[in-house]
Chains A and B, each alone.
Chain A
Amino acid sequence: NAGVTQTPKFQVLKTGQSMTLQCAQDMNHEYMSWYRQDPGMGLRLIHYSVGAGITDQGEVPNGYNVSRSTTEDFPLRLLSAAPSQTSVYFCASSYSGAMNTEAFFGQGTRLTVV
């Protein structure tokens, strides 16, 4: 049971490049979400999904797109990377959309935009 798997672990992008951060979970969780973590700050919610085909914006959605075609996968897309998107990105999944059960986190993707 792998839990939540994120790829890649590290990535360097040039300003304006695009890329997709991958997230997969094997726990059959309905709820998945993406957070970014900046130095000295807590995790801020970017986008989330309460099930396949359903996504919504979190606290800091600008510059990011998501889709949820399957229960297992929830990729995060950066269409035109900016230095302000340099951060560590975490994907999480949870059994309940009401977020009243434990959320499991991946190991993170450290992204640098130069």
Chain B
Amino acid sequence: GESVGLHLPTLSVQEGDNSIINCAYSNSASDYFIWYKQESGKGPQFIIDIRSNMDKRQGQRVTVLLNKTVKHLSLQIAATQPGDSAVYFCAENGLIYNQGGKLIFGQGTELSVKP
């Protein structure tokens, strides 16, 4: 079945280093992907998105890369800060459903930033 999964459940980085969080997806029909950040006790917060007609998109300190050939998505955070510590989820819209899309979430990666 379709799934969105993450390669690593936890990631620990030093403050100032770059972080890379990876995500694999299996639904080749998905045409929209999102990264969310979730801090403890809060709802998911939008970070960045990318459509399937792109392979790279940059935001403020964040970059998302999409490799449709191997169905892989990654989130790069430059100069990681303590405030970046959170759980990061990738999600895709499952367009196989006739009623429209549904966001399908991966398991999440917990990013821990060491001072």
Which residues of A come within 8 Å of B, CB atoms?
Answer: 4, 31, 33, 35, 40-45, 48, 50, 56, 58, 90, 92, 96-108
The interface bits of chain B over 85-111 (1 if a CB of A lies within 8 angstroms of the residue's CB, else 0) are: 000010001010001111111111000
Identify B102's interface contact among A42, A45, A102, CB under 8 A. Answer: A45
Whether A42 touches B49, Cβ cut-off 8 Å, given contacts A98-B93, A99-B32, A107-B42, is: no
CB distance from B26 to the nearest CB of A (A): 14
> What separation, in Å, do the CA atoms of A50 and B46 have in the docked complex?
21
Interface residues on B, range: 20 to 34
Whether the pair A108, B43 counts as a contact (CB closer than 8 A) is yes
Whether the pair B43, A105 counts as a contact (CB closer than 8 A) is yes
Chain B residues within an 8 Å CB radius of A40:
9, 107-108
Whether the pair A102, B44 counts as a contact (CB closer than 8 A) is no
Chain A residues within an 8 Å CB radius of B102:
33, 45, 48, 58, 99
